[in-house]
Amino acid sequence: MDERLRRLLGASGPELTCDECFAELDRYVELEVSGTDADAAVPGMRAHLEGCPACGEEHESLRALVAGDDA
Ligand SMILES: [Zn+2]
């Protein structure tokens, strides 16, 4: 059922699931905002964010929040 859902969502390919993406998103955004190579630290994340509109949106708003928080 999980796999079927994933296929329906079109998120096949990247090895990250939405759950894993969500679990790493905080860390990923912090690295990104601090100028560290977030893609190297969390492999597969970029591909998932590009392939998954829900996580992509979550990423955008979290990044805006983190970036705005510091500035
Ligand atoms: Zn996702």
CA 71 to centroid of ligand 1, rounded, Å = 28
Query: What pLDDT, on a 0 to 100 scale, did the predictor assign at position 57?
Result: 97
Contact 21, 49 (CB under 8 A): yes
Query: What pLDDT, on a 0 to 100 scale, did the predictor assign at position 9?
Result: 61
Query: What pLDDT, on a 0 to 100 scale, did the predictor assign at position 59?
Result: 97
Query: What pLDDT, on a 0 to 100 scale, did the predictor assign at position 6?
Result: 63
Q: Work out the end-to-end distance of the chain between its first and last CA atoms, rounded to an integer number of angstroms.
A: 43
CA 68 to centroid of ligand 1, rounded, Å = 24
CA-nearest of 49, 71, 69 to 59 is 49
CA 61 to centroid of ligand 1, rounded, Å = 14
Structure tokens at 71: 């500035």
Neighbours of 32 (CB within 10 A): 21
CA 54 to centroid of ligand 1, rounded, Å = 6
C-alpha to C-alpha distance for 5 and 38, rounded to whole angstroms: 27
The tens-digit pLDDT sequence of the chain (71 residues) is 576 666 666 545 547 899 999 999 999 999 999 999 999 999 999 999 999 999 999 999 999 999 986 55
Query: What pLDDT, on a 0 to 100 scale, did the predictor assign at position 55?
Result: 96
